[in-house]
Amino acid sequence: MQSITIRQPDDWHLHFRDNEMLAETVPATARCFARAIVMPNLVPPVTNASLAMAYKERILAARPAGSQFEPLMTLYLTNETTPADITAAKAAGVTACKLYPAGATTNSDAAVKGISALYPVFEQMQKDGMLLLVHGEVTESHVDIFDREKVFIDQYMVKIVQDFPALKVVFEHITTGDAADFVLAHGANVGATITPQHLLLNRNDLLVGGVRPHNYCLPVLKRNTHQARLREVVAEGSKKFFLGTDSAPHAKHRKENACGCAGCYSAWSAIELYAEVFEQLNAMDKFEDFASNNGPDFYGLPRNEGTITLVKESWQVPELVTLADGTEMVPFFAGQTLNWKLA
Beta strands in 60-184 (DSSP E): 70-76, 96-99, 131-134, 169-171
Q: CA-CA distance, 174 to 287, in Å (whole number)?
A: 18
Q: Is residue 211 exposed (0-12), middle (13-18) or buried (19+ Cβ within 10 Å)? A: exposed
How does DSSP classify residue 256?
A: S
Q: Is position 72 annotated in a ligand binding site?
A: no
Active site residue 246: yes
- 98 in a labelled binding site: yes
Beta-carbon contacts of residue 237 (< 8 Å; ≥ 6 apart) = 283, 285, 286, 289, 290
Annotated catalytic residue, options 205, 246, 289, 297: 246
The answer to whether 142 is annotated as binding is no
16 is in an annotated binding site: yes
Handedness of CA 254, 257, 263, 265 (dihedral sign): positive
Q: Is the dihedral of CA 283, 288, 289, 295 positive or negative?
A: positive
Q: Consult the annotation and say whether 198 binds a ligand.
A: no
C-alpha to C-alpha distance for 6 and 247, rounded to whole angstroms? 21
**15 among annotated binding-site residues:** yes
242 is in an annotated binding site: no
Q: Binding site annotation covers 240?
A: no
Q: Distance between CA 146 and CA 219 in Å, rounded?
A: 8
* Contacts of 210 by beta carbon, 8 Å cutoff, 6+ apart: none
Is 189 part of any known ligand binding site? no
Would you mind telling me the total number of residues written for the chain in this entry?
343
- 17 is annotated as contributing to ligand binding: yes
Binding residues for substrate are 15-17, 41, 135, 218, 250, 262
Binding residues for Zn(2+) are 13, 15, 98, 135, 173, 246
Provide the annotated active-site residues. 246
Binding residues are 13, 15-17, 41, 98, 135, 173, 218, 246, 250, 262
